[in-house]
Structure 1
Amino acid sequence: MSHAKDSLNGSEKERAPLEVEIMALREEVKQLRAENTAAKAKLKEQEAIEKRYEESQSRFAGIFDRSIMGNKIIGPDLKIKNVNKALQQMLGYSKAELIGIEITKLSHPDFVHHWQELRQKLWEEKIPAFQLDTCLLQKDGSGLWCQVTSILFQDQHEWLGFTIIENISNRKALEQQLKKQYENQETIMHMIAHDLKSPLFNIYLAAGFLRENLEQLQANEQKKQEETSALVNLISDTSDKALLLIKDLLLIGEVESTQEDLEETDLKAFIQFHLQNLSVGAQNKNIAIEFQTPKKPVYAFVNREKFRRVLENLVSNAIKFTQPNGQVNIILKNNGKHTMLYIQDNGIGIPESLQATIFQKFTKAGRNGTAGEPTTGLGLYIVKQIIEKHQGTIRVESQENAGATFIVELPAGLVK
């Protein structure tokens, strides 16, 4: 009995450590299960984060690729990491040609410093976004004005620049046109103040003398009548000069700031219609005008009102610089692709030293005519501007004292 009891107590003593170990193992399993559950939850959360990231990346890629504006991603070394189709089309390069190239290699040489400034602002000063206007070079070598907006963002462990490129060439062209118009207006105002000062002062003086002569007319009638007539002629001449200058200045503003609406015109009939008006000045100097033209109509696309001014200016110039009893020829031809107009005279010609500048605004080559006719130095500049807006050209062939020929070349119209 005593022996059995001792055996039982020994067995219980042996089980006690085992139960403790089992309890410990159960606690460990419970903890492992909890850790496993937490790990699964964390993994699920990580998978959800990765899924959202992938979805975000997919949405970004969709927006990036489908954007109508040029998009690219650049690194701190300014090398291109990705581009969309819009930028490829904008610059004329393929994606393979653009990836890995430094954007400064595509910049116009005068504007490389713009990209260096962008790198400083984004990666050195850590400004989150930066915008500038710059000029890139397309594959064909032509310039492309664009507005660049670059946004700094972090992709994993790297800071990159997401760059939007918008084509602003039309805006820049308009800005240049407005700038040119402003500069022209400034020049015009300066010339008005300078060139009208003298004739207006002469009118002022002549009017004063005329008033004195009228007061003294009875005392010495014959002499005062002659002086009064001379003063009236002076007022008339200086007024004509001032009005001519104002007319040309106003025409410059109109020509430089507007595009021409062209219509197909039979220049043969057009010139014949205006020939009588063109001949008025010639009659005063007994100058013969001859119009030489093919039997068939000669067509060109012109703005009729502006081309009338071209015709009047060139013919009046020929008359102005031809001596009395001279000859002016108007020759119209069609050589297939072009319509050619020649205004030819046998007058005093143009010195070779002046020929390079006769088409410039306010040219120093301006001279009075053979009968003292005034000039503003603007007429041929206006003619050249109008002709160029007709997609044409004008040039002169002349020798001093051997006449001059002005040659206008225009795209030909359709043969009827």
Structure 2
Amino acid sequence: MSEFAAFFLDQAEASPHVQFVYDLAARRIVFVNGAYQTVLHGSLNGVNAELPALLQRLHPDDLAYLAHYWAKWVQNEINDEVEVRLQAPGKPNQWFCLTPSYQEVDGRVLLGGTLRDVSVNKRYQENADLFNSRKNATLEILSHDLSGSFIMVQQIAEFLHEEVVAPENSRIPEMLRVLATTSRDSVKMIRELINIEFLTSANSDLKVNRVDIGAILRVPLDQLQLGQRLLGHHFTYTLPDEPIYANLDVNKFTQVLINLVGNAFKFTPDAGYVAVHIAPGPGTVLIHVIDDGVGIPLAMQPYLFERFTKARRPGLRGEATTGLGLALCKTIVEWHHGNIFVESTEGIGSTFTVEIPRSEAVAASVRPRWSNSTRKGGGV
């Protein structure tokens, strides 16, 4: 063994992550470091015998996903890291990130890899996404509630200022002007807060993870439904019956959804209806945001997704708009390799549709060769 090979072997043995080399023709693991014992609780000498049982612990939703990458890996066509879940009875799923490598040595194909336990980071990210989703949905609800109240106070103050004849030297006109100005400024401040939150999120780095889109979006949708029920509005949503996976920046994508729902409420009377339907498409996920509000003039529809669009207009309750919201939604959707489009008729309502690709749209029937392997010493 050369001094370089010995050096890299020592490095592998010192690593806290599982490092392995798999001989494709022999279908055997020919090297695994000591971390296998501490991370996966296996035996170094029994790694090939233990491999089928280990593979049986893969989350069923990850099998087709991993099969897709396996087919690319054996052809040396994979550059991405792959995240998978292992199940254990009575315990949370264990998340692993695989960094694959490929080598041909003396005509033999060797598949190497580093397997890192990222369960702690995953749970931290899930909690952060959950908090952000609830926070953003709550802010959107409060913005509509508070804005509506302040706009009403502003309108009443302006009406009284015009209609009431105040006594000479009375401070009532001045106080009504202050009340109207304060209410108008409060509405502006509330909307600016929401816009800043959206802009800050849109300008941060994209952090994409493979997630069950129904499970992820249920959180803000639940929050929006609760808030609108308290405000007396009609809001419903439907989710897919089965898990559908997509590669999402959860924080950014949920803000797109919240923005679209917020716009629907902005242009729908209090007695109107807003609904969100999430459904599978052919290799895609479709998110429909539907309202029976005032609709969008046909002449304005081509300009909706432009920055500072000339199609912008105040909401039914006087809510201001910057003309940036839908442009940012379009940008974020395109970052996810998707499309956003609208169908609308004045006086009838609007439907905004977001279409994004599923995570490596692989037929559910495709399963890894190794998923049913039971022979002793067998491998992938």
Task: Please give the range of the TM-score, normalised by the shorter of the 2 chains.
Answer: 0.3 to 0.5
Larger relative contact order (Cα-Cα within 8 Å, sequence gap ≥ 6): 2
Q: Which has the higher helix share?
A: 1
Give the TM-score of the pair, scaled to structure 2: 0.46
